[in-house]
Structure 1
């Protein structure tokens, strides 16, 4: 019953998943860049710091959080759609799952860093956030290769 619905909804589910991923990734790419500016250019209590705190909070709450939830919901719907993944032989799906979990761990780190900035407790320099800005790119490359190329 539910399997039949998922099969019939597959094109819509896939389209909504891709749109959600694009929005989630846009936020995951941009928030660490805001952290770089925050760490390097915003003096405690300055107008710039207040502006960055608002921008970071709104990006997280209005874009990244909803897009991340939608990505997971539509992604899981795809996982449970009959015929999409053969968990007995599709090793790529396991690799992708690990990479997606890694992306989710990175997202939770962003949440923690945003809270630290908001409370005036950031302990990382701008260079740290420049390096962290590369993490979602590396994970995204792996995820896309697993889904499109399916090398395993």
Structure 2
């Protein structure tokens, strides 16, 4: 497979994954504010379905990313300090995504103790990670 096709597919998976990363905490905002039991139950379903829907995109993002690194080769990896920083930030995104899973399980068990404001802030935080990752991938400022 051409590296350009691999990059295109990788970018698609990243976008699809981030759609879920941006929307799930927004559901948490509404869920934390909800008072109606039926509405809370509906949010639980929506949150669970969304998390599991975007999980394959998270996995495919990792697979295509590793495939690109493999195609470029180990010499390229060693000579690309921007990539090391990017991969560290990407690890942070995966940590964030699995933290959302933990929060989703707390909501599912009716054990949420955080406010909607907390989830609003949480919802906005991955934007900065994504910006840094895109800048590193496109500009490669550490070369």
The normalised TM-score by structure 2 is 0.93
Q: How far apart, in 2, do the equivalents of 1:16 and 1:145 lie?
A: 19
Where 1:133 maps in the other structure, the secondary structure is helix
- Could you tell me how far 1:83 is from its partner in structure 2? 5.2
Q: Is the 8 A contact 1:85 1:93 kept in 2?
A: no
Q: Does the C-alpha gap of structure 1 residues 71 and 85 become closer, same or farther in structure 2, counting only changes over 3 Å?
A: farther
Higher helix share: 2
Q: How far apart, in 1, do the equivalents of 2:15 and 2:35 lie?
A: 29
The normalised TM-score by structure 1 is 0.88
Listed as ranges, the gaps of 5+ residues in structure 1 are 1-7
Listed as ranges, the gaps of 5+ residues in structure 2 are none
Partner of 1:80: 70
- Could you tell me how far 1:131 is from its partner in structure 2? 0.7
Q: Does the C-alpha gap of structure 1 residues 35 and 85 become closer, same or farther in structure 2, counting only changes over 3 Å?
A: farther
Q: Which runs of 4+ in 1 moved over 6 A?
A: none
- Which of residues 34, 49, 61 is equivalent to 1:58? 49
CA RMSD of superposed structures (Å): 1.5
- Could you tell me how far 1:146 is from its partner in structure 2? 0.1
Q: How far apart, in 1, do the equivalents of 2:129 and 2:85 lie?
A: 11
- Could you tell me how far 1:39 is from its partner in structure 2? 0.5
Q: Which aligned pairs between 1:1-152 and structure 2 lie closer than 5 A?
A: 8-43=1-36, 46-62=37-53, 64-82=54-72, 86-152=76-142
- Could you tell me how far 1:42 is from its partner in structure 2? 3.6
Q: Is the 8 A contact 1:78 1:84 kept in 2?
A: no
Q: How far apart, in 1, do the equivalents of 2:78 and 2:108 lie?
A: 46
Q: Is the 8 A contact 2:69 2:77 kept in 1?
A: no
- Could you tell me how far 1:133 is from its partner in structure 2? 0.8
